[in-house]
Structure 1
Amino acid sequence: MITALLTEGQTVSEVAARYGVHRSWVYRLKARYDDEGEAAFEPRSRRPLTSPSAIPDATVELVLRLRKELADAGLDAGADTLCWHLRRHHRVVISRATAHRILVRHATVTPDPSKRPKSSYIRFEAEQPNETWQSDFTHYRLTTGADVEIITWLDDHSRYALHVTAHHRITGPIVLDTFTTAAAEHGYPASTLTDNGMVYTVRFAGGRGGRTRLEVELRRLGITQKNSRPSHPTTCGKVERFQQTLKKWLRAQPRQPATITALQALLDTFTDEYNHRRPHRSLQHRATPSAAYTTRPKATPGERHSDTHDRVRQDKVSKTGNLTLRHNGRLHHIGIGRTHAGTYVRLLVQDLDITIVDTPPARSCAS
């Protein structure tokens, strides 16, 4: 249009008719060209001069400041958590979508398309506190280079961290001791859920060995024991997610622990923060685990009298006339008599009732 006006010498009416625009637009374009020259050809922003519904700059700055403070402290700093802190501590209410847009606009969110969408998971949650306790342990390296392990007992319903302690190495007796300590403070659960590690269960070890101390104690108390299938870590996803949150917080601390005592002090600090002051995005109304754990009545153990431990073993009487049998995590010696030394036997075991049958080994036939 500018070329038609200035080079071809057409009138404003002719240009407007030629390009199908109003004459006033041709006049405005000509005036802009007279004032700005070639810059008049650049596209102009269509953003309105005012936006009454826009989030105030002070709120945007507050969101970004909270995001940095929480992230530096090693705590969750997602949009849901930010909205909770704004509402509870600053009396500012914005939607989750608004908070997320602010984070994206200021490049504080790193997209990860490879993540599996949350909608693809099948979520389950216990209806009552103490209905199910999840447990797992994770490795941690001190600044001295020494490796230690951290065990956690977590309530499935409320995500309440019941017990978090550090040890040089997690063993079967330590698992039982930590469970008993947590139960002494919070009451016994109706069931437990762990992976199939040997410190928790020997169910997947072929059925030859005796039950662990934890398995024996759970059966005595009437507590149902549940274990995830091999290669299915998401079954115990709540406690594993807790461990990720814990390690993220530990990495953010200015002073890393050099001793197991210093590490335990940090674990106690984090557990208190996690249980009582940190909102949990998976809980209703973004409640804290402590609030969710104390709101509803707690479940209690049932009975497992019909749940016996049955197994069959092949063995050979030793030279001293003994057989060995593992029970409750300990190896016991059963006296048969020296007269039976070297005899092959079969043990039919049901809890503490043992039947020993003389079973000579089958002889191979030579061709």
Structure 2
Amino acid sequence: MWQSDFTHWPLSDGTDTEIISWLDDHSRFLLHTSAHPRITGPIVIDTFTTTMDTYGPPASTLTDNTMVYTTRLARGNTGQRNQPNGFEQLLADLSITQKNGKPAHPTTQGKIERFHQTLKQWLTAAGPSTTLDELNTQLNQFTHIYNHERPHRALNRTTPAVAYTALPKAEPTMEAFNQIWRVRHDKVDPDGHATLRYAGKLLHLGIGRAHTGATIIILIHANNTIVINKTTGEIIAEHTIDPTHNYQPKKPTPTHQTGTMT
């Protein structure tokens, strides 16, 4: 699970900025932090997807009820809930569970709240930045120190980086064909392949050049995969993974019913 929140921080001339952070709940590993003039919905989505491209998708997220994260408490003129915002829709599309703290109970997001206290103490000691770029440079420096050099009391004095790499990561799942499948999202490359990390190895799945550029959903159960075109819902490939080989050819005859999935 990833926690996220944002906090205010001034530049040397008093200009206000907002810093958004993404923190791994189990290990306290700092996945992302960056400063912006103001945190908006598109910035939440951009920082989340950039972080996901680096570390893979989380099984769930935990945030407060700020409108950039959720509209679940918003009501329109009719008293009905507004449409989900872009971030909520993205999580739903990726089968990622969204969790939100109770209103007026900030302790639910206690780890990210405590993290921002640590960050502000470090920024105070480091001295004020004159520009947003300088502040982001400081944040990059802090990220390395926090993850790799600073032992964490809650982690038995190990660093977040050690704790983060010690255990496998929970990933999104969905139910299909009466089985629970791990979910990965990717895009078919110009060679007609997609990548999949399996048993600690990066494998290449044969999809077909006809699908180059297609955004796909890869479902993984044991050593079986189903590849679905995200736009059309069509099953376009299946594989039986052999981890002794880098390249995984698709099955000539699909096991599951062809057609579309929702």
State TM-score, norm by structure 2.
0.64
Task: Tell whether the 8 Å contact from 1:223 to 1:303 is kept in structure 2 after alignment.
Answer: no
Residue 256 of structure 1 and its aligned partner are, at CA, apart by 1.3
Match of residue 301 from structure 1 = 172
Among candidates 155, 162, 172, match of residue 291 of structure 1: 162
Residue 303 of structure 1 and its aligned partner are, at CA, apart by 2.7
Q: How does 1:160-175 map to 2 (within 5 A)?
A: 160-175=29-44
Task: Tell whether the 8 Å contact from 2:72 to 2:82 is kept in structure 1 after alignment.
Answer: no
Match of residue 189 from structure 1 = 58
Partner Cα separation in structure 2 for residue 224 and residue 301 of structure 1: 8
Letter in structure 1 aligned against 2:93: R
SS at match of 1:137: strand
**Residue 17 (structure 2) pairs with residue 135 (structure 1):** no
Partner Cα separation in structure 1 for residue 167 and residue 140 of structure 2: 25
Match of residue 264 from structure 1 = 136
Residue 210 of structure 1 and its aligned partner are, at CA, apart by 1.2
Partner Cα separation in structure 1 for residue 175 and residue 136 of structure 2: 36
* Between structures 1 and 2, the one with greater strand share: 2
Q: How does 1:21-36 map to 2 (within 5 A)?
A: none
Structure 1 residues without counterparts, runs of 5 or longer:
1-131, 306-367
Partner Cα separation in structure 2 for residue 149 and residue 303 of structure 1: 35
SS at match of 2:169: coil
Match of residue 155 from structure 1 = 24
Partner Cα separation in structure 1 for residue 174 and residue 138 of structure 2: 38
Residue 201 of structure 1 and its aligned partner are, at CA, apart by 0.2
Letter in structure 2 aligned against 1:294: T
Task: Tell whether the 8 Å contact from 1:154 to 1:161 is kept in structure 2 after alignment.
Answer: yes
Greater gyration radius: 1
Partner Cα separation in structure 2 for residue 165 and residue 299 of structure 1: 25
Match of residue 45 from structure 2 = 176
Aligned pair count? Answer: 172
SS at match of 1:271: helix
SS at match of 1:252: helix
Change (3 A) 1:231 1:304: farther
RMSD over equivalenced CA pairs, Å: 1.2
Deviation per residue, 1:282-310 (Å, 9 max, x gap): 11x311000000011111102389xxxxx
Task: Tell whether the 8 Å contact from 2:69 to 2:88 is kept in structure 1 after alignment.
Answer: yes
Change (3 A) 1:239 1:304: farther
SS at match of 1:286: coil
Partner Cα separation in structure 2 for residue 303 and residue 180 of structure 1: 20
SS at match of 1:261: helix
What stretches of structure 1 move > 3 A for 4+ residues in a row? Answer: none
Q: How does 1:35-184 map to 2 (within 5 A)?
A: 132-184=1-53
Task: Tell whether the 8 Å contact from 2:72 to 2:81 is kept in structure 1 after alignment.
Answer: no
Partner Cα separation in structure 1 for residue 174 and residue 67 of structure 2: 24
Letter in structure 2 aligned against 1:279: P
Task: Tell whether the 8 Å contact from 2:73 to 2:81 is kept in structure 1 after alignment.
Answer: no
